[in-house]
Amino acid sequence: MTEITLKEATKYYKKDKQGKLADKVIMRELKGEDEIVFGARSINVALPSYLRKHTEDWDILTHDDPKTVADKMEKALDRRYGGNFFSVEPAKHEGTYKVKSRVTGKTVADITIKDDEVEHRRVGGINYATLDYQVEKLKLALSKEEAQFRHDRDKETLQRIQVYNELKAKKRKKAKKKVERGVLYQSLGRF
């Protein structure tokens, strides 16, 4: 973490509102753009609130240079916070750059080069990876021995998605029965 004065830290925390300001800035930067949000944030967009998982950072795929996108994001965050509170640094994985808070040391966004087609849908002007795409990626991660450190987390995320899919299937089945009953009653002249 870089040295920050107490005055700068106070300014940052007053504006930050527990990360909500950073989220607003990132969402504004993503709106109408080609970048695709993946990971927990894209899963949370598809799930009902009780199945969502807490997350603080944004995982973003881009077909542009990830460093350029990260630099743009960092400048927008610094401008909105009113100081030099964010930095860009390369991540462990080649082709990924992190936008980090210089005050907290936490990652705000990971920007990665998009190397394959990503199924996505637009919600509120922002592209989010689909649940099907996320399930494929989670299963792939679970098959990798070197990703063992995150297997429990990934299994739990898959479980949340399975719960959602099961509830969705039950809802469809119930709706289909209602329609079938309505058609039956209509044919018997009871409507």
User: pLDDT at position 99, please?
Assistant: 98
Residues 150 and 180 in one domain: yes
Domain boundary among the residues 78, 106, 129 is at 129
State which of 84, 113, 129 marks the end of a domain: 129
CATH number of the domain where residue 16 is located: 3.30.460.60
- Kindly state whether residues 10 and 35 are assigned to the same domain: yes
Give the end of a domain, one of 129, 150, 166.
Answer: 129
- The verdict on 93 and 187 lying in the same domain is no
Q: Note whether 41 and 93 are same-domain residues.
A: yes
Same domain, 164 and 188: yes
Report how far residue 29's alpha carbon sits from residue 81's, in angstroms, rounded to the nearest whole number.
15
For residues 139 and 183, membership in a common domain is answered with yes
Q: Within 13 A of 32's CA, how many CA atoms are on the CB side?
A: 2
| Cβ pair 109, 26 in contact under 8 A | yes
Distances (CA, A) of 145 to 18, 141, 158: 35, 8, 18
155 and 120 within one domain:
no
Contact of 101 with 86, CB cutoff 8 Å: yes
Ranges of residues in the chain with a pLDDT under 70 are 1-2, 178-191
Same domain, 90 and 173: no
User: What local confidence, expressed as pLDDT, does residue 116 receive?
Assistant: 83
Domain span at residue 175 reads: 130-191
For the chain, how many structural domains are there in total?
2
Is 134 found in the same domain as 122? no
Pair (30, 42) in one structural domain:
yes
What pLDDT sits at residue 109?
98
pTM: 0.86
Indicate whether 124 and 134 sit together in one domain: no
Report phi then psi at 40, rounded to 5.
Answer: -60, -40
Instruction: Specify the 3-state DSSP secondary structure of 59.
Output: strand
Question: What confidence score (pLDDT) does residue 181 get?
Answer: 62
- Claim to verify: residue 36 and residue 61 sit in the same structural domain: yes
